[in-house]
Amino acid sequence: MNRFVQLWRTSTVRLTATFILIFVIFAIMLLAFIGWQSSVQIQRQQSDDIDREVRLFQRMDANQSIRALAFAVERISRQPGPGVYYLGDATGQYLLGNMTDVPPEVLITPGVYSFAYERSNPLAGSGLPDIRPPRSGYALVRSVELSNGLRLVVGRDVVERRGYSAIIIQSFMFGVLGIILFSLIAGGVTARRVLRRIDTIRDTSTKIMSGNLSERIPITKRQDEFDGLATNLNAMLDRIEALLQGLKEVTDNVAHDLKTPLTRLRNQAESALRDGASDQSRQAALETTIAESDRLIQTFNALLMIARAEAGAPSGAFSDVDVSAVVADVAELYGPVAEDEGIVVETAIAEGVHLRANRELIGQAMVNLLENAVKYAKPEGEGTGRINVGLRTDGGRVLIDVADNGPGIPEEDRKRVLERFVRLEKSRSETGSGLGLSLVDAVTRLHGGTFRIEDNAPGVRAVIDLPGA
């Protein structure tokens, strides 16, 4: 009983029951209409047969002798079937036919009547033994007065018609029971299949909530709406698992990378408070503390900006942005900085390129790319460092690239450097937190694009690939 109540509370079972009810009501109405129409058609057919025979006898009365008419009535009344016939004289006295007793009003006033009667044995008067008793029935008749004064009654026994109606009603009842039984079976099978798929999703979510983030909803080969839902949920679970894994890695990296500067801060403060420390050493300790604090603030600012980008832009944060102007301004801003390092900055920026984007984040991504390029654009050995900043459109895409001719990044490390706090060994001597390229990647994904690092032979080409406006 509890199982039934639990099933009834589910929307699937209720919808299935509603469908079955509607289907059964419609089927009952359809069968009732068919039965009623069949009964009406049988009754109409009987009335048409009666009228046709009456017209036939009236033509015989007009064109032939009374003897021929009597012979025709006698012959047809002896045939088996539902037909009933009565031929009487002008006073209504029985002459011949298979019905001997007719109500007086039927003979007096022509018209259509129905009444109970006793049908005579069709073998009577034939000289054969009378082995069958008269049969009772109920007739629908039409009485007429012929031109010669005779009274003619022609009709049909409606008991047989009622037998047909009973057969129709019986078939109707069996049909309704069959429809209800079939609907219940079909509804039960449908509800069971739907509930089984829902239970699979529920069981998977229970396992995930218990801590097993690698669980996924099974997908069948039917490619139905449940498979579509499972595919979307699995993609969402993959994204959640990746975010949680990234959060764990970020937490570990933050704890590892911030431990050293915080330790230095504590040591500097401790040395400044040590007895015998000169004012000059205390001044140096405070300056070092401020510098370390600034680097920590920059690290946290970068983390907050990455978090903002990965969380998605709030409503109204995107607007029409002249990307050409943004890229040109950042390249112009870092031109003097690159010159001080002996690096040449060259630009190839297409004009009038507009995107629906966040100007601040696009600008910050360009700043990070150019800062990295200035740090690592110097070629190994002799030679002049070069940075190429480009902006172009290609097949409805907007491509922003920053290339240098420095030592480059090994192919196996090009995806790893996009992770937070990842710094390659050769960059350990440079200042930084390892968050620059992570921010660029987050900003690119926020705008629906992709960020990739390619080989510039020599050097590195960082490409921001964005969908066009």
Q: Which amino acid is at 131?
A: I
Model-level pTM?
Answer: 0.47
Q: Distance (Å, rounded) from C-alpha 93 to C-alpha 102?
A: 10
Q: Which amino acid is at 206?
A: T
Q: Distance (Å, rounded) from C-alpha 204 to C-alpha 200?
A: 6
- Asked whether residue 400 carries a pLDDT value surpassing 70, the answer given is yes
Give domain 319-467's CATH number out of 3.20.190.10, 3.30.70.1290, 3.30.565.10, 3.30.930.10.
Answer: 3.30.565.10
Q: Helix-strand-coil percent breakdown of the chain, rounded to 5? A: 55, 20, 25
- Asked whether residue 427 carries a pLDDT value surpassing 50, the answer given is no
Q: Distance (Å, rounded) from C-alpha 443 to C-alpha 426?
A: 26
**Partner residues linked to 387 by β-bridges:** 345, 404
Beta strands in 179-335 (DSSP E): 319-322
- Residue 257 pLDDT class (50, 70, 90 cuts): low
- What integer is the mean pLDDT of 57-78? 86
Instruction: Please give the pLDDT value at position 131.
Output: 46
- Least confident span in 101-105, 139-143, 240-244: 240-244
Instruction: Please give the pLDDT value at position 7.
Output: 60
Q: What does pLDDT average to over the chain? A: 79
**Partner residues linked to 397 by β-bridges:** 394, 467
Sign (positive or negative) of CA dihedral 51, 56, 62, 65: negative
CB 433 within 8 A of CB 299: yes
Of residues 418 and 370, which shows the higher confidence score? Answer: 370
CA angle centred on 123, ends 118 and 129, rounded to 5°: 110
| pLDDT tens per residue, range 358-389 | 888 888 889 889 988 888 877 666 678 889 99
CATH class entry, domain 225-311: mainly alpha
- Residue 392 pLDDT class (50, 70, 90 cuts): very high
CB 95 within 8 A of CB 87: yes
CB 5 within 8 A of CB 168: no
- Residue 401 pLDDT class (50, 70, 90 cuts): very high
What spatial distance separates the first Cα and last Cα of the chain, rounded to whole Å?
A: 60
- Residue 428 pLDDT class (50, 70, 90 cuts): very low
Q: Which amino acid is at 224?
A: D
* CA atoms within 13 Å, Cβ hemisphere of 196: 9
Same fold, 225-311 and 319-467: no
Which residues, 6+ apart, have CB-to-CB distance to 251 below 8 Å? none
Instruction: Please give the pLDDT value at position 464.
Output: 92
- What integer is the mean pLDDT of 212-223? 82
Which residues, 6+ apart, have CB-to-CB distance to 231 below 8 Å? 219
Instruction: Please give the pLDDT value at position 275.
Output: 64
- Asked whether residue 467 carries a pLDDT value surpassing 80, the answer given is yes
Beta strands 343-349 and 319-322, pairing class: unpaired
Q: Phi-psi region for residue 244, left (φ > 0), alpha (ψ -120 to 50) or beta?
A: alpha
Of residues 308 and 92, which shows the higher confidence score? Answer: 92
Best CA proximity match to 460, nearest among 342, 393, 369:
369
Phi first, then psi, for residue 111 (nearest 5°) are: 160, -165
| pLDDT tens per residue, range 161-206 | 666 667 777 777 787 788 778 777 877 777 777 778 888 888 888 8
Q: Distance (Å, rounded) from C-alpha 230 to C-alpha 226?
A: 6
- Asked whether residue 454 carries a pLDDT value surpassing 80, the answer given is yes
Burial of 323 (0-12, 13-18, 19+ CB in 10 A): buried
Of residues 457 and 6, which shows the higher confidence score? Answer: 457
**Partner residues linked to 392 by β-bridges:** 399
Instruction: Please give the pLDDT value at position 128.
Output: 46
Which residues, 6+ apart, have CB-to-CB distance to 410 below 8 Å? none
| Segments making up each domain of the chain, as ranges | 1-123+133-215, 225-311, 319-467
CA 15 to chain centre: 16
- What integer is the mean pLDDT of 31-48? 81
The strand order across the sheet containing 385-394 reads 343-349, 385-394, 397-404, 460-467, 450-455
Best CA proximity match to 120, nearest among 137, 103, 145, 105:
137
- Residue 357 pLDDT class (50, 70, 90 cuts): confident
**Partner residues linked to 85 by β-bridges:** 154
CB 261 within 8 A of CB 295: yes
| Percent residues over pLDDT 90 in the chain | 10
CA 323 to chain centre: 39
